[in-house]
């Protein structure tokens, strides 16, 4: 079928072997108080792109530094990628340089099936020790190469970062394979890892968006890697939405289909159907509610996330989208919308209670207790601009919001201290805390004067009217660096309550948990009792876009003080392959320190479930709960087939 869109609307294990316990840490949630603290040290690169790696290591990728600032980053000698070690106990970070050959700024990314990272697309700009490419007057000059060039144009690259054999080697080697190229350029694409480990790559432009020459910019296509059907597949939705087609919202659904929202329209794509010339793999499903909200996409950037997937509810899936900007003014929006089970016939969006704080470019982190932390962002403007161009965004939001899915409510938490504006991120760590990174407007006070200042309601600010006249419109030496190098850590209240933490023992090296298998996780009896197992996938994030993170709560088939038994989700579409955190959560909502394990394909195996002893529910009610849940999952899967 040919899709049509109304152009009048604004696109606005086998049995699991468990290793002996690591030396037990204190089981009490012992931090003095919940809230934010700045960790000592710097990130080296300023973390436009964040990807979690094992053992509290974080890959950070930035843009080449730009005129009028020095174009060689002194922390890295110009290199754009670092790997950071986060030590929450010491309250400190450190970094090593992790060189890239091809510019990955403005790429999309996702976790690979083997726990590595795919980084797709990027930017045209090259970097040389002898020439400031960002000062070029013609965009073609951005990619000029000379004898001192060390970073090359990367807008068409497929990069894969491979984890070393041991976690200890993460800090000692590059691990990059950058040899592959796409058939088309992509600047600001979204990347989703599918259940079979292949990639869905969608959107992005042929170059940095240029409203004066859009014909050279438009790339209304998606593709798969490895390639199938066609090198680049044209999408009517992307064509209609252009230029609002950068970092579109996309998630893998439990059926293996792909959810894709661009601006204010949504489709579901079946990756196993050849689209042909009529987009036979694509179904239009929903339009967003009419609200005073600009298109739900860059540069009016919201955040999006999947609410906890519970086995007891058949892995029923809800996607929630929050923040962005209003349509009537340049002010941020507090609106939230959600869609339940997008594959179900007649699925549509619903309005969710507003966030306590309006914010553009928010970031979200799913916590092991099932709540969602929202942080970062600004109160006025839009995303975009070169480093330090603060006329495009103002009023950083320091409040922290927490969404409670179980009762559809919000609460407000402590204030952060570091502004996180354009090019920021948020990542969950294995101890249950959250770190924030980045910001390319760290010099915002030079332009605005105060944290609460805003621009006009209906226009950008005048770049010649900066608060510090020495800095605007021409930046000089005394001005603040725009690149934020600090990491701030948020410690949730569940870690400061004084209640004990469960202790989950480490998995044996090389363990792979296979789909639909019943597995046993060993617990330390000195820790708190486990009431819930929370499985959270490792994440990558940029520009408020995180296609990786999801929380799965399995039914506990059996638990006592030394073991918890549960079932791995039935397939890799519910739980995409890759590294996952395994948290034990107490009845007080306190999480353990997570252990990492790989989810992947293999024989289905089952540990024996004891018939006596302690369990969270009776065997009959547990069996009924699982039967109801799996019946729901089956209904949802079949229902989509009749669309």
pLDDT tens digits along 352-391: 999 999 999 999 999 999 999 999 999 999 999 999 999 9
Write out the two tokens for 79: 């290199």
Q: Across residues 524-553, what is the average pLDDT?
A: 98
Q: Across residues 187-194, what is the average pLDDT?
A: 98
pLDDT for the residue 133: 83
Q: Across residues 277-288, what is the average pLDDT?
A: 95
The answer for residues whose C-beta is within 8 angstroms of residue 126's C-beta and 6 or more apart is: 103, 133, 142, 143, 144, 145, 149, 151, 152, 153
pLDDT at 138 over 80: no
> What distance in Å separates the CA atoms of residue 185 and residue 204, rounded to the nearest whole number?
8
* Domain limits, the chain: 35-493, 498-641
pLDDT at 2 over 80: no
Structure confidence at residue 642 as a pLDDT band (50, 70, 90): very low
> What distance in Å separates the CA atoms of residue 444 and residue 395, rounded to the nearest whole number?
9
pLDDT at 639 over 70: no
Q: What pLDDT digit, counting tens, does each position of 394-425 carry?
A: 999 999 999 999 999 999 999 999 999 999 99
pLDDT at 280 over 60: yes
Write out the two tokens for 55: 């053992």
Strand partners, 127: 151
pLDDT for the residue 139: 56
pLDDT for the residue 616: 53
> What distance in Å separates the CA atoms of residue 264 and residue 289, rounded to the nearest whole number?
9
Mean pLDDT, rounded, of the chain = 90
Q: Across residues 138-159, what is the average pLDDT?
A: 86
Q: Across residues 468-476, what is the average pLDDT?
A: 79
- 35-493: which CATH topology? Methylamine Dehydrogenase; Chain H (2.130.10)
Strand partners, 624: none
- Dihedral sign from CA coordinates of 383, 192, 7, 328: negative
> What distance in Å separates the CA atoms of residue 52 and residue 365, rounded to the nearest whole number?
13
The answer for residues whose C-beta is within 8 angstroms of residue 592's C-beta and 6 or more apart is: 501, 502, 503, 504, 527, 530, 583, 584, 585
The Cα-based distances of 198 to 271, 291, 573 in angstroms read 10, 36, 12
What percentage of the chain exceeds 90 in pLDDT? 79
pLDDT for the residue 208: 80
Count of all residues that appear for the chain in the document: 643
pLDDT at 18 over 50: no
Q: What pLDDT digit, counting tens, does each position of 506-520 carry?
A: 999 899 999 999 999
Q: Across residues 335-352, what is the average pLDDT?
A: 96
Question: The whole model's pTM is what?
Answer: 0.91
Structure confidence at residue 52 as a pLDDT band (50, 70, 90): very high
pLDDT for the residue 4: 38
Closest of 275, 344, 233, 271 to residue 1, by C-alpha? 275
If residue 640 lies in a helix (H) or strand (E), which one and from where to where? helix 619-641
Q: What pLDDT digit, counting tens, does each position of 110-124 carry?
A: 999 999 999 999 999
Q: Across residues 292-313, what is the average pLDDT?
A: 98
Structure confidence at residue 619 as a pLDDT band (50, 70, 90): very low
Asked if residues 354 and 428 have their Cβ atoms less than 8 Å apart, the reply is: no
pLDDT for the residue 611: 85
| Residue 211, Cβ density class (10 Å: 0-12 exposed, 13-18 middle, ≥19 buried) | exposed
pLDDT for the residue 612: 67
The half-sphere exposure of 610 on its side-chain side, counting CA atoms within 13 A, is 14
Q: What is the CATH number of domain 498-641?
A: 2.60.40.10
The Cα-based distances of 486 to 61, 95, 311, 514 in angstroms read 14, 12, 39, 38
pLDDT for the residue 590: 98
């Amino acid at each position: 079928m040919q899709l049509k869109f109304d152009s009048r609307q604004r696109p606005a294990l086998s049995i699991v072997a468990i290793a002996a316990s690591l030396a037990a840490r204190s089981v009490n949630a012992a931090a003095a108080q919940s809230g934010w603290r700045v960790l000592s040290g710097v990130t080296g690169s300023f973390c436009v792109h964040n990807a979690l790696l094992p053992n509290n290591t974080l890959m950070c990728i930035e843009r080449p530094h730009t005129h009028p600032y020095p174009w060689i980053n002194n922390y890295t000698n110009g290199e754009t990628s670092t790997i950071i070690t986060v030590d929450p106990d010491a309250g400190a970070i450190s970094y090593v340089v992790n060189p890239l050959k091809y510019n990955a700024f403005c790429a999309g990314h996702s976790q690979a099936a083997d726990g590595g990272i795919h980084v797709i697309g990027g930017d045209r700009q090259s970097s040389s020790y002898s020439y400031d490419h960002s000062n070029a007057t013609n965009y073609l000059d951005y990619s000029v190469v000379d004898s001192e060039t060390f970073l090359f144009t990367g807008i068409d690259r497929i990069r894969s970062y491979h984890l070393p054999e041991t976690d200890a080697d993460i800090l000692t080697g590059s691990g990059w394979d950058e040899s592959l190229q796409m058939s088309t350029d992509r600047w600001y694409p979204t990347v989703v890892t599918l259940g079979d480990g292949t990639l869905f790559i969608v959107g992005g432009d042929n170059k940095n968006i240029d409203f004066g020459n859009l014909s050279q910019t438009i790339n209304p296509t998606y593709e798969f890697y490895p390639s199938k059907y066609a090198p680049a597949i044209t999408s009517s939705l992307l064509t209609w939405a252009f230029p609002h087609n950068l970092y579109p919202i996309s998630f893998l659904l439990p059926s293996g289909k792909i959810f894709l929202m661009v601006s204010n329209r949504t489709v579901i794509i079946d990756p196993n159907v050849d689209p042909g010339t009529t987009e036979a793999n694509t179904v239009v499903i929903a339009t967003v509610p009419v609200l005073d909200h600009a298109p739900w996409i860059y540069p009016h950037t919201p955040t999006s996330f999947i609410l906890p997937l519970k086995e007891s509810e058949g892995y029923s899936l809800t996607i929630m989208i929050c923040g962005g900007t209003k349509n009537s003014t340049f002010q941020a929006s507090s609106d939230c919308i959600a869609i339940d089970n997008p594959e179900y016939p007649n699925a549509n969006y619903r309005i969710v209670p507003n966030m306590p704080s309006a914010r553009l470019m928010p970031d979200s982190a799913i916590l092991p207790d099932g709540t969602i932390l929202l942080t970062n962002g600004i109160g006025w403007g839009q995303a975009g601009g070169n480093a330090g161009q603060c006329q495009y965004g103002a009023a950083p939001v320091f409040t922290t919001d927490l969404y409670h899915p179980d009762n559809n409510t919000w609460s407000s938490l402590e204030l952060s201290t570091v502004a996180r504006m354009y090019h920021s991120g948020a990542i969950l760590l294995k101890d249950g805390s959250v770190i924030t990174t980045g910001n390319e407007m760290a010099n915002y006070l030079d332009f605005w004067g105060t944290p609460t200042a805003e621009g006009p309601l209906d226009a950008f600010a005048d770049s010649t009217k900066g608060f510090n006249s020495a800095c605007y419109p021409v930046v000089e030496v005394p001005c603040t660096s725009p690149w934020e190098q600090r990491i701030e850590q948020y410690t949730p209240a569940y870690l400061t309550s004084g209640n004990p933490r469960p202790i989950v023992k480490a998995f044996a090296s090389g363990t792979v948990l296979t789909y639909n298998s019943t597995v046993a996780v060993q617990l330390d009896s000195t820790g708190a009792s486990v009431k819930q197992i929370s499985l959270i996938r490792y994440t990558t994030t940029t520009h408020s876009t995180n296609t990786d993170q999801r929380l799965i709560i399995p039914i506990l088939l059996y638990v006592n003080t030394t073991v918890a038994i549960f079932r791995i989700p039935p397939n890799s579409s519910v739980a995409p392959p890759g590294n996952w955190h395994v948290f034990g959560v107490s009845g007080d909502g306190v999480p353990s320190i997570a252990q990492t394990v790989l989810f992947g394909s293999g024989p289905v195996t089952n540990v024996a479930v004891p018939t006596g002893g302690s369990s969270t529910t009776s065997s009959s009610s547990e069996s009924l709960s699982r039967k109801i849940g799996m019946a729901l999952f089956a209904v949802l899967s079949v229902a989509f087939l009749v669309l």
